[in-house]
Structures are given as C-alpha cells and as structure tokens.
Chains A and B, each alone.
Chain A
C-alpha cells in the first residue's frame, strides 16, 4: 500500500517559520500578532451578533422546547469561539496553566454530537471506543478544537461523494510507540485517537504540508488555513504526535498519540 507517513517533527520542519530565516524572530511574532489581532477583532464583533440575536430568539420560547435547546447550543458554540479568539489575543499564552484532566471519550462524543446535525445523510459517523476511561492532560477547549478541525476536514473531504468517518479511541503502551521524534522520551501510555475517512485521499505533497500555517488546497472551506497548523501546535504542546496515512482513492487516516493522564 502506497502511503504518505509523516511524523510531527517532519511536518514542523517544513513550516513557514523555517523558510523565513531572514526575518528577525521578534518581527515575525509582531506580524503574526497583528494578523491574529485583526482576525480576533472581526470575529468578536460577529460573536456579539450571534450572542445578541440568540438572546432575542430565546425570548418567549418554552425552555423545555427543542428550539430553545438548539439556540442554547448556538450560544455554547459561541462560547467556544470566544475562548479561541481570547487565545488569539492573549500575549502570554501559557497553555500549561489551563490544562486539566480531560476524558477523551467525552470530548470526542461532544464533537460528533455537534457536527451530526450539520452533515448530510450521505456522511456516516462511526465510533469505535475501545478505551472508555482514558484521560489526557490538556486544555479542554483546545482539545475540542483539535477534534473539531480533524473531523471537519474529514467531512469536507467526503462532501462530494459521501462516505464514512470512523473515530477510534484506544490506548497504546509507550514501549509500542515507534513514531516519536528522535530524542523524545516515550510516556508510559498513550491515548490513541484516530480519524479515518473514506474520502478521495491525498497525494504525498498535500499530506506533508497539511499542517503548515495558511496551507490550503483551495477546495476546502477552512478560511485562512490556520486550523490544522493550530492542531499540530496543540498536540505538540501536550507531548503528543500526529501521523497521517493517506492514499489517493483510499481515504485518509489521521492518528493522534497523546500521553494519557491518570
């Protein structure tokens, strides 16, 4: 089987930062900060509208009714987006301080539950939960964001022809992990989260670049292409690894290994 397999370290070695060697680091950070601030400003205005009209829509509704619950979910989604724009604007991102023990199964199920009403009947979700109690040390908002980005990517890959997204949760002993970057010490145990789609798959070039900031094939509706680069950063900061296996015509499998906690 012809595959394109990249470790996180290999993906990061191809990042734009490495190609902008002539720019002072401080200038690169300032530019990135300007972009992030501008995006966050516009997003925060839009979020205020979402909150405002949701609030108006709730007036007069029966709290036990379906419409009330659906609008509450809109507000919950806006809360998550608010947390993300807050991170964009934060000059002192200290992700370690915001970490906690997060049950992975719950985060995965919440992601799929959020996405289920948004997809057509041609796209099927399958869950394979083989490790029900595994937890990781992570910021729950960031973890949700990772799962959401990967699931959305898979869904978008299958939009044209339909297909199945299989989400698997399992554990793996640290001794059995062979994809760690050189010099990185293995944890005792890892949570293994796999997103497998039956979409068209990717060629080697696309697979190797998919986690680069601003990279987009143009076929996706991912806006600026920041989503997957943020995914790789979040997983890396959690001590984890991402591997991508893809073949044209055979779909894509993205596997996350994150040290388990507790």
Chain B
C-alpha cells in the first residue's frame, strides 16, 4: 500500500490523521516536526508527505524543500492553520516551493484522505 508521512506538531491531530489514513489501508509514518520528518523519511516507503507548515524546530517549508531534493517525485500536501502572515501567504509559498496541494485548517480528515487518494491515483 502507498506510504504516507504525516508531519504535524500537534499530537492529537497527528494521531487523528494517522487513524483516518490507516483505516483506508495506507502505511503511515508520523513526525512531530521537520527535523524528525527528515530523519524518518525513506524514499522507498513514502509516496506522499502531508506536512503542517508552522512547526517548532524545522517548519514545513523546509520539509518540502528537503523532500524535493531527496525524491523529487514525492507528492506533497501542505496544511496550515494561519499565523503571522495568514494562511494565504504560507500556503502560497508552499505552492511555489512545490507542494502539490494546499489545505487550510480546519478541514475534515475525510477531505484530506480523499485528496490523498486522488493525488496518488
């Protein structure tokens, strides 16, 4: 089954998204920030990365850049709940850096799962 990496600093949300994706039989790897994400990223396992943008340690924008360097064909979904520049700005930057899709929080996990399914084909 396709592998999904979830990068999200909120533990509850990370586990909710894990549960939603594992129910649909995806292989799920989670990380609480960008640094941990890059330690756990395995090109042979991960087909799509779902990353929050605003996180401590290393943020989602650096995740996008690093993943693109290691395995350019990885699909990436960026999510954000807002912040200094508002969700519009961070998400637009994420698109510029190569995110395939962007999501503003809050969203229904089922919407995210549907989008993962569509992107992976």
Binding site for B on A (CB under 8 A): 33-34, 37-38, 40-45, 47-53, 55-56, 78, 82, 85, 88-91
Contacts and interface: CB of A to CB of B under 8 A. Distances in A.
B84 A55 contact: no
A44 B86 contact: no
Interface residues of B, number: 23
A185 to B, nearest CB: 36
Contacts of A44: 81-82, 87, 104-106
Given A40-B82, A85-B81, A91-B86, 7 more contacts: A37-B84, A40-B83, A42-B81, A48-B13, A48-B81, A48-B105, A56-B19
Given A45-B10, A49-B13, A89 B82 contact: yes
Interface of B: 10, 12-13, 16-17, 19-20, 54, 80-87, 104-110
Contacts, number: 72
Contacts of B105: 41, 44-45, 47-48
B116 to A, nearest CB: 15
Nearest to A34: B84
Given A41-B54, A45-B81, A52 B87 contact: no
Nearest to A33: B84
Contacts of B12: 49
Contacts of B81: 40-45, 48, 85
